[in-house]
Amino acid sequence: MKYPDDFIDNVIQGDCLEVMKQIPDNSIDLIFTDPPYNISKKNKIFRDYRSGKNGNISMDFGEWDYNFQIEPFLIESKRVLRDDGSIIVWTSEQLFGRYRKC
């Protein structure tokens, strides 16, 4: 992948940490992301009382929602963001504090 042509007006699919390693320091205006929420629980079932039905809701969303490492992602994000750049992260309530701490 070459810079900048491959990054301008393109959607790049891949492991974000691997792709971000190819991006020069202080070169990105905005990172907008919806990473895994780390809220899955194996074999955890919640009753769905809101719908008026007696169905169950599984809290296991799959392997992709387990053990997402926030710190390496934020370290790399800070490196590629311009000084006046922004990061917008959709995340779970449970992880909000960890994002703010980094």
Q: Which residues of the chain have pLDDT under 50?
A: none
In this structure, the dihedral spanned by the alpha carbons of residues 70, 71, 77 and 80, taken in order and rounded to 10 degrees, is: -160
- Is the residue at 51 inside a domain? yes
Q: Is the pTM of this model over 0.75?
A: no
Model pLDDT, residue 41: 79
Please name the amino acid found at residue 5. D
- Is the residue at 74 inside a domain? yes
Name the percent of the chain lying above pLDDT 90.
17
Cβ atoms 91, 36 nearer than 8 A:
no
- Is the residue at 93 inside a domain? yes
- Is the residue at 1 inside a domain? no
